[in-house]
């Protein structure tokens, strides 16, 4: 029996050594894969973000043209190559001055950034934060964005809440980085993209606070009113003093005519024009084009009445 055990022990030694070697190699491969796995795009199905399904979080680093999460000479060479090729190809991360173009100004800024002459790209100055008290008009099943600056090095972060969680869904959260890693206390720009699910008026509130400081008021609050219109409504979204037109059909066999009534004097009827009007043909169907201008932000109604059947058509005008 003892002899048999000895033999077994000798036979097991090389097998044990082989297993250890195999495990060591496997661990080395695993560590390398973890080091080089890209972290620029993370699917929230593997995260926990307030239980939201289909949410994505990703990071955009200005100057990082090859998406290796660094800004270096390789990116500079790639930008130079793009300019020499003159293909007109636009890469968002190459537009380091934020003028929506790729040109020699961006190349010059890249060189200064790599040499340490500048620690942040001018594109950071082009971002506009969403203001407290903003009113956002959006159609059902369409998306809208909220953008705010955040400085995670201070421990402060933005946290949001919705007055009705079934009405809005967070689609994505983007982190825009435009500074050097050597810059202490460097801010980033965050962009949240929401989808409007249900018609109605809702409140979206962002609070800037440190998550571990319980019972302490946030240092900043941004509250937005989100007005969601039904997808089957007649909705027009314009800015103040931007002309907009509505066309109504008139004429035909029954002799359609139309009139309009405006809910508020802030919306002005500028002109009425007849399109393709042929008076020589009694039953010709043509269009009457009404042109308006809204002088004040708000939500207004324009009600058209078509005769002889007294049909009413309502337009909702959202003015920013």
**pLDDT score recorded for residue 229:** 84
- 135-229 fold: Immunoglobulin-like (2.60.40)
pLDDT at 188 over 50: yes
CB-based contacts of 185: which residues, under 8 Å, 6+ apart?
151, 153, 154
> pTM of the prediction?
0.65
Tell the CATH superfamily of the 63-120 domain: Dockerin domain (1.10.1330.10)
Give, in words, the CATH class of 234-319. Answer: mainly beta
Half-sphere exposure of 179 (CA within 13 A, CB side): 14
Please tell me the distance from the alpha carbon of residue 227 to that of residue 299, in angstroms, as a whole number. 10
pLDDT at 215 over 80: yes
pLDDT in tens, 92-145: 999 999 999 999 999 999 999 999 999 999 999 999 999 999 989 888 899 999
| Every domain of the chain and the residues it spans | 63-120, 135-229, 234-319
In the chain, DSSP assigns E strands to: 41-43, 56-61, 135-139, 143-150, 157-162, 168-177, 188-196, 200-209, 220-229, 234-238, 244-251, 257-262, 267-275, 285-294, 298-307, 311-319
Greatest CA separation for the chain: 120
Query: Would you say the CATH fold of 234-319 matches that of 135-229?
Result: yes
């Amino acid at each position: 029996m003892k002899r048999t055990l000895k033999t077994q022990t000798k036979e097991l030694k090389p097998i044990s050594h082989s297993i250890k070697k195999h495990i060591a190699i496997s661990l080395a491969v695993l560590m390398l894969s973890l080091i080089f796995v890209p972290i620029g795009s993370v699917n929230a199905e593997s995260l926990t973000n307030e239980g939201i399904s289909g949410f994505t979080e990703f990071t955009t680093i200005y100057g990082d043209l090859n998406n290796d999460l660094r800004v270096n000479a390789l990116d500079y060479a790639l930008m130079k190559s793009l300019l020499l090729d003159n293909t007109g190809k636009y890469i968002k991360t190459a537009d380091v001055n934020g003028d929506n173009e790729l040109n020699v100004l961006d190349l010059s800024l890249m060189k200064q950034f790599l040499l340490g002459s500048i620690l942040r790209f001018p594109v950071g100055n082009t971002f506009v934060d969403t203001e407290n008290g903003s009113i956002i008009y959006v159609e059902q099943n369409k998306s809208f964005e909220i953008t705010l600056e955040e400085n995670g090095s201070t421990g402060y972060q933005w946290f949001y809440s919705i007055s009705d969680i079934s009405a809005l869904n967070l689609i994505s959260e983007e982190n825009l980085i435009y500074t050097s890693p050597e810059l202490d206390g460097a801010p980033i720009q965050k962009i949240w993209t929401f989808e409007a699910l249900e018609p109605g008026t809702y409140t979206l509130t962002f609070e800037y606070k440190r998550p571990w400081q319980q019972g302490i008021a946030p240092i900043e609050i941004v509250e937005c009113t989100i007005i969601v219109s039904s997808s089957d409504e007649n909705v027009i979204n314009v800015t103040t003093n931007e002309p907009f037109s509505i066309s109504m059909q008139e004429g035909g066999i029954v002799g359609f005519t139309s009139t309009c009534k405006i809910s508020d004097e802030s919306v002005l009827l500028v002109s009425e024009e007849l399109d393709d009007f042929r008076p020589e043909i009694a039953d010709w169907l043509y269009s009457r084009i009404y042109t308006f201008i809204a002088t004040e932000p708000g939500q207004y109604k324009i009600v058209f009445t078509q005769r002889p059947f007294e049909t009413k058509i309502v337009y909702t005008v959202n003015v920013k």
